[in-house]
Structure 1
Amino acid sequence: MFFGAAFFIAVCMAGTGRTNSGQFVGSAACEECHETEYGNFKQFAKKAHSGESVKLMSGDLTEEELKECFHCHVTGYGQPGGFVSFEETPGMADCGCEVCHGPGYDHVESGGDSELIKGSLDMADCQTCHNPERVEAFDFKPLLYGGAH
């Protein structure tokens, strides 16, 4: 009986795109459908190259300090499909699209279902990383208002 009910639910939900795997895919997966946004992000956003800052400082940081940096300076650290190391996951070694918009696997696999990704961002999304506790000089210029999106 349980198998039948589970099978029925799986069949009814198949193809609906309403999954929540939490899997990261990397910014390159966004480029195909969001070419202009991706290009602007890569050209104008400092965070598109944020892993380089971490690499430069890594020799002066403890392992715990380095892990703290990864939460904001790379994509999906400690999450499925996310950053593992600069060598193993170079495509996740910067603060990419998914840091702000959330894991993109389900969105990509669904063919772009907008309900499976955070499309509209606000200042609260930026303050996950850009906050007084984390950044002493809280003088950043978010791309929300800079025209990259």
Structure 2
Amino acid sequence: MRLAGILLAVTFLMIAVPQGRTAKQSTYVGSKACEECHAKEFASFSKFAKKAHSFQSVQIMASKLEPAEIKECYACHTTGYGQPGGFESFEKTPHLADAGCEVCHGPGSEHVQSGDKALIKSKPNVEECQTCHNQQRVKSFGFKPMLFGGAH
């Protein structure tokens, strides 16, 4: 299981960073930082996307899981876990505790700072969603990609 978590984090890092960028150049800022310029999308995401409240699932299950299993949950239920500047713990990085905008669009600090659209992944594709929403998990909870489900 530990190897699967590592592979998941590496795969996520490969798809989450906008092309031509590196994780060192842009860091995670949390979804709230997106709200000022993307109010409509942020409101829709916050209201309709289960991932906007995904850390609650980890908290609900935590008493039934070993610490190593909980950390595996972080790869899909938080923003940037295992990556520079990503989620570390609820106490240290509460603004990254849910699977937020940057899970799909990549680390947003440079984009937020400059407003430059080239510094963020504007059009993620469904294949990228499968890092977390793979065949096994889809059967478990009825995955509906936000590409088609309300945030955009």
TM-score w.r.t. the length of structure 2 is: 0.79
Which residue in the other structure is 2:45 paired with?
41
Q: Does 1:148 align with 2:151?
A: yes
Q: Higher RCO, 1 or 2 (CA under 8 Å, sep at least 6)?
A: 2
Give me the whole-angstrom Cα distance separating, in 2, the residues matched to 1:134 and 1:46. Answer: 14
Verify the 8 A CA contact 2:80 2:87 in the aligned structure 1.
Answer: yes
Amino acid at match of 1:120: K
**Cα gap change, 1:83 to 1:133, in 2 (>3 Å):** same
Confirm whether residue 58 of structure 1 aligns to residue 62 of structure 2.
Answer: yes
Distance change in 2, residues 1:137/1:104 (3 Å): same
In structure 1, give the amino acid aligned to 2:38: H
Whole-angstrom distance in 1 between the partners of 2:141 and 2:62 = 22
> For this pair of structures, how many residues does the alignment match?
131
Pairing 1:137–2:140 present:
yes
Contact 1:72 1:95 in 2 (8 A): yes
Stretches of 4+ moved more than 6 A in 1? none
Q: Give the Cα separation in 2 of the matches to 1:138 and 1:62.
A: 22
Partner of 2:129: 126
1:68/1:136 CA distance change after superposition, 3 Å: farther
SS of corresponding position for 1:129: coil
Report the equivalent of 1:24: 28
How far residue 148 of structure 1 moved from its aligned partner, in angstroms, is 1.7
State the distance in 1 between where 2:53 and 2:116 align.
Answer: 28
In the TM superposition, residue 135 of structure 1 has moved relative to its aligned partner by 4.8
Give me the TM-score of the superposition, normalised by structure 1: 0.80
Inter-CA distance 102–129: structure 2 relative to 1 (3 Å threshold): same
For structure 1, which runs of at least 5 residues remain unmatched after alignment? 1-17
Larger helix percent: 2
Q: Which runs of no fewer than 5 residues in structure 2 stay unpaired?
A: 1-19
Q: Distance in 1 between matches of 2:40 and 2:139?
A: 32
Give 1:72's match in structure 2, choosing from 68, 72, 76: 76
| Structure 2 counterparts to residues 93-132 of structure 1, below 5 A | 93-109=97-113, 111-132=114-135
